[in-house]
Amino acid sequence: MAILVTPQTRILVQGITGDFGSRHAKLSLDYGTQLVAGVTPGKGGQVFEHNGHKVPVFDTVTEAARETAATVSVIFVPPPFAADAILESVDAGLDLAVAITEGIPVNDMIKVKVGMAGKKTRLIGPNCPGLVTPGTGEDSHGGCRIGIAPGYIHKRGNVGVVSRSGTLTYEAVWQLTSRGIGQSTCVGIGGDPVNGTSHLDVLKMFNDDPETEAIIMIGEIGGDKEEEAAAWAKANCKKPIAAFIAGVSAPPGRRMGHAGAIVSGGKGTAAAKIAALRDAGIAIVPTPGVMADTLLQHWGKI
């Protein structure tokens, strides 16, 4: 089944005519993603062409969704305009909006959160690599790739991956695939302090997904979302989980990489997160190079 998206999910790209958006739209089309529309204000009526694909471009998300039955948007819009782009997807009633954009002002994201309250749309990101549900073809072709993740490293299977870090997501996926272990869905939730979907949200979905048999969770310093997920997993999740927390050596008060990766006021430390995860019976990954092996040992596969 996978979670959030399937190979049949119909996708639109906000910012498809920009350099970044067009580049990744092409890669998604090559992967076999059902990319059915683009949105760029003022460029409605144009056609985005790539390798025999002809994707219509619309001025608004509402028009694009109405004409093409798209249910998911991926957002490649510059930071000053990205919040409005997210809210446009919300107003159009899409099921999912995936915001790849990095550097959206925190105040803008707070307004987005307020604007999304009570609405049906789920947000992944911002500042995230997106998500991939692999297909069953060669190099997992025929799946659903939304965002910037390298689709070719994925393999269809039974491990769910959820991560705040894009690069560590790719590392975990490649380790699994190299060992012949496939993935159900891989979700990059982003590293900003104000985002849409949390580790806990994704863990609940993986727990309910019959295809997902085991989980890799990747977190980092800052905030308390990993502890929140650990507490829920302790009480509710019977599937094996391995977790890596980045930033063990980060000095307090200094941001490390992502905007949300900062230890402040004694909260959000790697030690506190690791303690909570270990208490929940989750296997702790000591270094990034053994994420797959740690899960497989905990799972009883090696």
Q: pLDDT by residue (tens digit) across 18-54?
A: 999 999 999 999 999 999 999 999 999 999 999 999 9
- Selecting from 3.65.10.10, 3.40.50.720, 3.40.390.10, 3.30.1120.80, what CATH number does the domain 10-124 have? 3.40.50.720
Residue that wins the pLDDT comparison between 302 and 151:
151
Give the homologous superfamily in CATH for domain 155-299: Succinyl-CoA synthetase domains (3.40.50.261)
pLDDT at position 12 is 98
3-state helix, strand, coil in the chain (%, to 5): 35, 25, 40
| The pLDDT of residue 271 | 87
Quote the CA–CA distance of 223 and 124 in Å, as a whole number: 17
Contact 16, 39 (CB under 8 A): yes
Q: CA 27, CA 74: separation in Å to the nearest integer?
A: 13
pLDDT band of 205, cuts 50, 70, 90: very high
Asked if 230 and 198 count as a contact pair (C-beta separation under 8 A), the reply is no
Q: Catalytic residue at 258?
A: yes
Mean pLDDT of 80-102: 98
- Other beta carbons within 10 angstroms of residue 215's beta carbon come to 25
Question: Is the model's pLDDT at 1 over the cut of 80?
Answer: no
Dist CA 301 CA 15 (whole Å): 43
Q: How far apart are CA 24 and CA 16, in angstroms?
A: 9
As a whole number of angstroms, the distance between CA 109 and CA 261 comes to 17
Q: Reply yes or no on whether the pLDDT at 8 is more than 80.
A: yes
Q: Where in the chain is the domain with CATH 3.40.50.261?
A: 155-299
141, 199, 258, 298: which one is catalytic?
Answer: 258
Instruction: For strands 96-99 and 34-39, give the pairing.
Output: unpaired
Query: CA-based angle 17:21:27, to the nearest 5?
Result: 115
Task: For CATH 3.40.50.720, list the domain ranges present in the chain.
Answer: 10-124
Give me the mean pLDDT over the 158-182 stretch. Answer: 97
Strand partners, 96: 72, 122
Q: Would you state the pLDDT for residue 256?
A: 57
Q: How far apart are CA 134 and CA 262, in angstroms?
A: 33
Could you tell me the pTM of the whole model? Answer: 0.94
pLDDT of residue 250: 62
Q: What is the pLDDT of residue 259?
A: 53
Q: With 90 as the cut, is the pLDDT of residue 191 above it? A: no
pLDDT tens digit string along 206-216?
A: 999 999 999 99
What confidence score (pLDDT) does residue 193 get? 85
137 confidence band (pLDDT: 50, 70, 90): confident
Question: Which H or E run contains 230?
Answer: helix 225-236
What is the rounded average pLDDT of the residues 155-167?
A: 96
pLDDT 10s digits, 222-274: 788 899 999 999 999 999 999 999 877 666 655 555 555 455 445 578 888 99
pLDDT at 120 over 80: yes
By C-alpha distance, which of 148, 160, 154 is closest to 243?
160
